[in-house]
Amino acid sequence: MPTPPASSPFTVLTGASRGMGLGIARGLIDAGHQLLTLQRTPNPELQARAQARGLAIEQWSVDLSEPLAVAERLRSHLSAHLSAQREALQDAALNLINNAALLAEPGPLRDADLADLSRATRASLEAPLLLTAAFLGATQGARGPRRVLNVSSGLGRFALAGTASYCAAKAGVDHLSRAVALEEGEVEGGARIVSLAPGVIDTDMQVQLRSGNAERFAHCSRFEQMKTSGALDSIDAAAAKVLAWLQREDFGRDPIGDVRQP
Ligand SMILES: NC(=O)c1ccc[n+]([C@@H]2O[C@H](COP(=O)([O-])OP(=O)(O)OC[C@H]3O[C@@H](n4cnc5c(N)ncnc54)[C@H](OP(=O)(O)O)[C@@H]3O)[C@@H](O)[C@H]2O)c1
């Protein structure tokens, strides 16, 4: 990894290959962040974009449905990286954005495939929890500001039949963030954390929701209607709202946020 400019922010981002995470990665590179991204399939566009700006980027191919090994690797990597780059990073902002999530096949829980549920819940709840622990542990004592932004959803705050595991994962991410905010508030120089609902975005996850089996998932038509009425944000527009939240002076004062209610 090339030596970055002093105090250049360093951000760990999950799910940067496509969807809103790709928009967030583009925005972070344009804002001068060094990046470590975690997804199954790295995106060459990001490598080229970072290189064109002389910024360091590392993209890991990892499956967040198996998050333990990934979190252990992240903890060791961050500890080594922060120690090797002590001069450049000692005052830098350090961020973790847990953006990746996996939606189980929409439909009633009673009919769900158990392996599908397990994969989705591990990627959407266990992974953010373990990665947050790894990030906070490896970066404690850093002099610069540390922020964790967990991407939540309106479905973590109101229930929708047919998406029970996703609702549970996002409600879990919200409550995880509330509890960690209390813990970090108790220590000098503690990290700040927010669980943020990003609005409704034109991504593969929306395709999955509107193209589900209407007999098993009655709300398909509602998602179809949102697409046809133009209610979905583009990935770059949604990313800009998330990144504006990350930059807020009062980031973390309330650990629960929604880009639609600034
Ligand atoms: N789209 C919406 O309307 C909407 C609304 C509210 C909240 N959100 C939230 O916004 C975030 C981004 O959603 P999105 O719509 O952009 O989703 P998306 O288009 O489905 O993209 C998901 C991203 O997560 C990665 N990912 C999925 N499963 C993974 C796994 N097992 N291991 C590693 N990476 C994995 C994917 O990369 P790979 O496939 O390369 O692994 C991809 O980069 C999610 O937290 C979602 O819950 C979305």
Ligand 1 nearest atom to the CA of residue 98, by list position: 45
Ligand 1 nearest atom to the CA of residue 202, by list position: 1
Q: Specify the number of domains making up the chain.
A: 1
Does the pLDDT value for residue 1 go beyond 50? no
The residue type of 122 is R
Confidence class of residue 238 from pLDDT cuts 50, 70 and 90? Answer: very high
Q: Is residue 226 part of a domain?
A: no
Q: Is residue 101 part of a domain?
A: yes
- Between the CA of 72 and the centroid of ligand 1 the distance, in Å, is 22
Domain limits at 18? 10-199+235-258
**97 near 14, Cβ under 8 Å?**
yes
Global pTM exceeds 0.95: yes
Q: Pocket around ligand 1: residues whose beta carbon is below 6 Å from it?
A: 15, 17-21, 39-41, 62-65, 99-102, 123, 151, 153, 198, 200-201, 203-206
- Which among 20, 57, 56, 63 has a CA at the least distance from the CA of 39? 63
CA–chain centroid gap for 237, Å, is 16
Q: Is residue 121 part of a domain?
A: yes
Q: Is residue 205 part of a domain?
A: no
Q: Is residue 56 part of a domain?
A: yes
Q: What is the pLDDT of residues 84-120, one digit of tens each?
A: 887 777 789 999 999 999 999 999 999 999 999 999 9
Q: What is the pLDDT of residues 159-195, one digit of tens each?
A: 999 999 999 999 999 999 999 999 999 999 999 999 9
Query: What one-character DSSP code corresponds to residue 154?
Result: G
Question: How does DSSP assign 25-64, residue by residue?
Answer: HHHHHHTT-EEEEEESS--HHHHHHHHHTT--EEEEE--T
- Which among 187, 190, 188 has a CA at the least distance from the CA of 148? 190
Q: Is residue 132 part of a domain?
A: yes
Q: What is the pLDDT of residues 36-80, one digit of tens each?
A: 999 999 999 999 999 999 999 999 999 999 999 999 999 999 999
Query: How many Å apart are CA 210 and CA 221, to the nearest integer?
Result: 6
Q: Is residue 4 part of a domain?
A: no
Q: Is residue 5 part of a domain?
A: no
CATH code (residue 65): 3.40.50.720
Query: What pLDDT is recorded for position 5?
Result: 53
Mean pLDDT of the chain: 95
Give Cβ neighbours of residue 197 (< 8 Å, ≥ 6 apart).
152, 153, 154, 156, 157, 257, 258, 259, 260
